[in-house]
Structure 1
Amino acid sequence: MARYMDVHRGMHGITAEQLMEAHQADLAIEGEEGVHFERAWADPESGTVYCLSEAPSPEAVQRIHERTGHKADEVHPVPLSV
């Protein structure tokens, strides 16, 4: 499976609790699309949230996010990491 980094914008003021709730919602149904969300990060000031996942496709990542109510603005492949 490939890795993806997705970006959500407009989440100004997001709290650690809200980030955890959104991440847990994704984890609850991720298997239905063969996705595994590894981690999430947020910058409450800019309203940007990032999620790292392994998935069969960027569309699978987006479908999970859409179903949990927080569609990604961008989904990028991450072909290299160290």
Structure 2
Amino acid sequence: MPLFMDIHSLGDGVTMDAVAQAHQADLATQGPHGVSYLRYWVDEDRGQIFCLVEAPDAEAAHTVHRDAHGLVADSIYEVKEGV
């Protein structure tokens, strides 16, 4: 399954707690879309969030974020894991 990294630039007010809640909403929503949100990283100072997700395509990953909490990514990139 393809692997994607998405980037959210939300500005001030991003907290680890809020992102953890949004991630839980992703996990509760992802199944019917064939998506698996794996990990996330947060830069509170810059208001950015990075999510690693396995998905059939970028649109499926986008749909899960939209349906789960409405915080869609600014960019989604297909990535390949290095060794």
- TM class, shorter-length: over 0.9
The residue aligned with 1:47 is: 47
The residue aligned with 1:58 is: 58
Residue by residue over 1:58-79, the C-alpha shift from the partner in whole angstroms, topping out at 9 and shown as x without a partner, is 0000011111211110000012
Q: What CA RMSD, in Å, does the superposition of the two structures yield over aligned residues? A: 1.1
The Cα of 1:11 is off from its aligned counterpart by 4.1
The residue aligned with 2:76 is: 75
- Matched residue count: 82
2:27 and 2:60 map into 1 onto residues whose CA distance is 13
The residue aligned with 2:33 is: 33
The Cα of 1:16 is off from its aligned counterpart by 1.6
Instruction: Work out the percentage of aligned pairs sharing the same amino acid.
Output: 40
Residue by residue over 1:25-53, the C-alpha shift from the partner in whole angstroms, topping out at 9 and shown as x without a partner, is 10001011100000011101111100001
In the superposition, the TM-score normalised over structure 1's length comes to: 0.92
Q: Give the match's secondary structure for 1:61.
A: helix
Moved over 3 A (4+): none
Residue 28 to residue 11, structure 1, CA distance change in 2 (3 Å) = farther
Identify unmatched segments of 5+ residues in structure 2.
none
The Cα of 1:19 is off from its aligned counterpart by 1.2
